[in-house]
A and B are shown apart, each in its own frame.
Chain A
Amino acid sequence: MANRESKTDVLQGTLDILILQTLASLGPSHGYAIAARVEKVSNGRMQINMGTLYPGLMRLEQRRAIRGSWGTTDNNRKARFYDLTPAGRKQLELGKREWNRTVGIMQALLSEPK
């Protein structure tokens, strides 16, 4: 149990943004579409497995950042589609800002001449 905690803890901050951002650019999507999109955008460098993705989706849903509903895919299969809520949009904005700030600080720190 403790193991799982630490694993998600590391990912949690970025995972939320990844999911939210993906939904923002794709619109309502099912879980696999999100995973595939992340993998594609990262050129295969980032893969999200189901054990990470679905608890993450559930957490965001519990926080009312996204809303899930059953629908049908292009090839007519029943799937659960997730969509951003206004609260999710706000969280994404905040997350982006925070991320950029962190990246800026890290860059400044790392490029500091010795």
Chain B
Amino acid sequence: MGAIREWFQRLWGTFRETPEDAAMEEELALHLEMAADDWQRRGLTREEAIHQARLQAGGVAQAMEQRRDQRGLPWLGDLLQDARFGARMLRRAPLVTAVALVTLTLAIGANSAIFSLVDPLLFRDLPVREPASLVEFTFQFPRDPPLNMFSLASYERYRDGNHVFSDVFGLAPLTTQSRTGDEPIGTEVVTGNFFQALGVRPALGRLLEPSDDRPGAPAVAVVSWQYWQNRFSGDARVLGASIDIEDTRMPVPMYATVVGVAERGFSGVVVAYRPDVWSSLATVPDAVRSRASFALIARLRPGASIEQARAEMRVLDRARIEELSKRDPQWLGVAIDVAPARTGLSTALHQQFGGPLFVLMMMVGGVLLLACVNIGGLLLARGAARQHEMAVRVSLGAGRFRIVRQVLTESLLLASIGGILGITGARVGATILMRMMISGTRAPGPTPSLDIPLDARVVGFTIGVTVMAALLFGLVPAIAAFVSAPAPALRQAIGAPPRARRVAGNGLVIAQVAISVALLSVSQLSIAHLRHLRDQSLGFDRDRVLLLSVNSSRAQTPARALALYRDIVPRLKAIPGVRAVATSGITPIAPAAASRFLQAEGFDEPAQDRRRAAMNWVSPNYFATYGTPLLAGRDFRDTDFGLPRRVIVNQTVARHYFAGRDPIGRHVWLENEREPYEIVGVAGDAKYHEVRDAAPPTVYVLAANSGGSTEFSLRTDVSPAAVAADARRVVTEVLGDDSVRRVTTLAEQVDAAIVPERLLAILGGFLGASGALLAAIGLYGLLAYTVARRTKEIGVRMALGATRGDVVRMMLKQALLLVLTGVGLGLPAAFWSERLTAMMVEHLAAGGIVPIVVGASALLAVGLLAAYGPVRRATRVEPIAALRAE
């Protein structure tokens, strides 16, 4: 307590300008006088007494100094002095300061923004007990992604039969709609041991317990701290309140009684999703519960390894899988596995954006490094101008470390301003980015919400980045200040800079070029990847197609569907600007998809090797509308309705099942259907559900609609938006007012599916361009400085007969040498970054040499552009004037 008080007083004393010195001195003088009096009393003369007193009591000056140190915090005082001086220096060179600040704000802000998204998505541990021992279960059909979806029966088997987990628990998100009419409630149905296993404590009341899972137990729920605050204003009367829970799969809403509030800071175990309510199994009717899929999590027993858990899971469900595979041989290939879950259960947001964000994190790191090198160069150049000042300070007795500290304090001051501006900008940037990301997740289920708090981790990261940046860009000028020898510097105020400084300047420019090449190649790669996904190999023409999603539940019977089809389609086609109209059950690159196992005539394969084919139900003119070519056979015709079962298959089906034979007229069977379909046509391959995957084997069945929902697609000659109103009117006239669910364009739909890639391309492009700009500024600065420094030399050369061409050659040689060396050094870095990017972003193929060449040539062009000004100035040197100037 006393020590804290002392420090507080001293902190206060540092900032306070005090009139106390005089009082202190007076006190000391009195002390000496009294001591002398004493000595005099003991028989010494006055003079001797004063001398003796001084000897014994020590010097006034030293005592004063020590007292002053005790009064304040000396190092803080020095720091403040350095900072004040630094601020003056920054103000004195406003242009340099402004450039450095803009660069720093951008670089630190970009790092902070990306980190605040990456951290909760990829790195942050769940705020629960020992998150490192948490694992999640997955099961995986061959050729499918792994899924954490299990039945309650599996949950019970794993929970009771394992030897490696101390807890197994599960949760199932409900698609809830609020009954009370206000905002929807995010609900998770969880097993009774959920909170116990995680080690979460209640903030109020009790949490769910294993006994809540007993048959006949009442339906109870726990609300999140956040929800308790927002909805119940933190009122304890939340206990006993009733919560309505509705799921699209449940026939009637259920009610659960709130028994508790979870502790603050716990917001569930799913990344980027924060439920409001956790309800017990009893809230869901038996029938729904047994069909629901649960995500399962387990906690490893102390000492158990994840390998042991893997081995355990392989045997744990063996018997049941063998049982299932008797009916469906596909099950033989199923793999059940466990994966670490310390950061929470991954979601679409996590899977889609993790890789691109990681790449962006690397890129902003690169930009920061580049910015530091750039500012280091700026300060170095200015350091040359300040050499005189430094030399004066050294000769006046400033220690070298004091000088270095001064330089570093200035860097830190600069970086801190950049950091503060940066973190402010980062908040805005991260929020915008998050909105973009969420618009791009199309997983079914609750909308993700990612919290981007200004928490200790983000602030700490930003401070860390700022300090690191300050040290990085302050390092070179600091070293330069450290080694600067005062005498020569004072003697020659102006003249050629020392060789070391020149080498450092060149090195910094080369480093900027090298980093910039790597950045530009990665941005090139991401832009090329986006272009590839966007325009090429789709198999359909994404432009000028209007999509109307129509609620057609009123048209259930085939006859009625056909009648409606015959009613609506001609009217849509009659709209001016519409070239072709088709209906389908599914549109390309939409959230919905369907697939069936396929068998083909004359193609024998073991049952477990059978593949699924993507399914679509289409009307005549579907292929014309989408611009997908028919390679053989014919399209469906209106007269095909009512005829025996016909299908069109895509090229992949034709190639795989009918290699070398003509598929037209042959038959295929779909899973769970006895009657075969006859193939009447072969269509070109087109992307189906996933724009990043190759076109899957696809079967198109003739249908006027497919119960529940029908998609109308209109190929237009004009902008699709121009016919949207007319098309909507036509459909509502026939089917009623709320029949149109969604109107969009095919281009928008495809774009919505590639938000991660768009994000990467846009931000990557921006970062790459910023990098190139910084490198150009660096090169320009160095060359301009060189010209200024060598004006006299150039004048002499020209006076001795050098032509302007010679001067241009000389200057360009220097510029090219720097850029080419940088490019050369940047190539391995670029190559490595490309490979890392390809590793992190799914479906992205490293582009090999092309993006690197593009990046390098872009930089060469930028370099020459930056050199233009200084070179021009060099050629304008008037020999006489230059010589006279000396």
Name A's B-contacting residues (CB within 8 A). 1, 4, 30-32, 35-36, 47, 49-52, 54-55, 58-59, 62-65, 77-80, 87, 91
Contact = CB atoms under 8 A, between A and B. Distances in A.
Interface stretch (B4-12, B244-252, B429-437): B4-12
A17 to B, nearest CB: 14
A85 B63 CA distance: 25
Given A54-B24, A55-B67, 6 more contacts: A55-B63, A62-B9, A62-B10, A63-B2, A80-B27, A91-B2
Contacts of A4: 66, 69
A79 to B, nearest CB: 5
Interface of B: 2-3, 5-6, 9-10, 23-24, 26-28, 30-32, 34-35, 38, 56-60, 62-63, 66-67, 69-71, 74
A62 to B, nearest CB: 4
A59 B69 CA distance: 11
Interface of A is mostly: helix
Given A58-B71, A77-B30, A50 B60 contact: yes
B70 A58 contact: yes
Contacts of B62: 51
Nearest to B2: A63
A63 B71 CA distance: 12
B28 A54 contact: yes
A49 B62 CA distance: 11
Nearest to A16: B2
A-B pairs with the 3 shortest C-beta distances?
A49-B58, A63-B2, A62-B9
Given A1-B74, A50-B60, A63-B6, A79 B27 contact: yes
B70 A59 contact: yes
B171 to A, nearest CB: 55
B28 A59 contact: no
Contacts of B58: 49-52
Contacts of A35: 31, 35, 57
Nearest to B74: A1
A64 B5 CA distance: 8
Contacts of B6: 59, 62-63
A65 B62 CA distance: 25
A14 to B, nearest CB: 17
Contact of A87 (B2, B28, B35, B66): B2
A42 to B, nearest CB: 13
Nearest to B68: A55
Contacts of B32: 50
A73 B596 CA distance: 106
B384 to A, nearest CB: 32
27 contacts: A1-B74, A4-B66, A30-B31, A31-B27, A32-B30, A35-B31, A35-B35, A36-B35, A49-B58, A50-B31, A50-B32, A50-B57, A50-B58, A50-B59, A50-B63, A51-B59, A51-B63, A54-B66, A62-B9, A62-B70, A63-B2, A65-B2, A77-B30, A78-B26, A79-B27, A80-B23, A80-B27
A77 to B, nearest CB: 7
A32 B63 contact: no
A64 B6 CA distance: 8
Residue from the set B38, B56, B66 with the largest chain A CB neighbour count within 10 Å = B66
A52 B62 CA distance: 10
A62 B5 contact: yes
Contacts of B69: 1, 4, 55
Nearest to A8: B66
Nearest to A33: B34
Contacts of A30: 27, 30-31
B236 to A, nearest CB: 42
Contacts of B31: 30-32, 35, 50
A21 B9 CA distance: 24
Contacts of A36: 34-35, 38
Contacts of B27: 30-31, 54, 79-80
Contacts of A79: 27, 30
A51 B30 contact: no
A4 B69 CA distance: 10
Nearest to A90: B2
Contact of A32 (B34, B59, B74): B34
A64 B9 CA distance: 10
Contacts of A1: 69, 74
Contacts of A47: 56
A50 B32 CA distance: 9
A15 to B, nearest CB: 12
Contacts of A77: 30
A91 B62 CA distance: 28
B401 to A, nearest CB: 12
A41 to B, nearest CB: 15
Residue from the set A32, A50, A54, A55 with the largest chain B CB neighbour count within 10 Å = A50
A64 B2 contact: yes
A59 B62 CA distance: 17
Nearest to B23: A80
Contacts of B3: 63
Contacts of A65: 2
A2 to B, nearest CB: 12
Contacts of A58: 67, 70-71
A45 B656 CA distance: 106
A80 B58 CA distance: 19
A55 B30 contact: no
A55 B62 CA distance: 11
B2 to A, nearest CB: 4
B28 A50 contact: yes
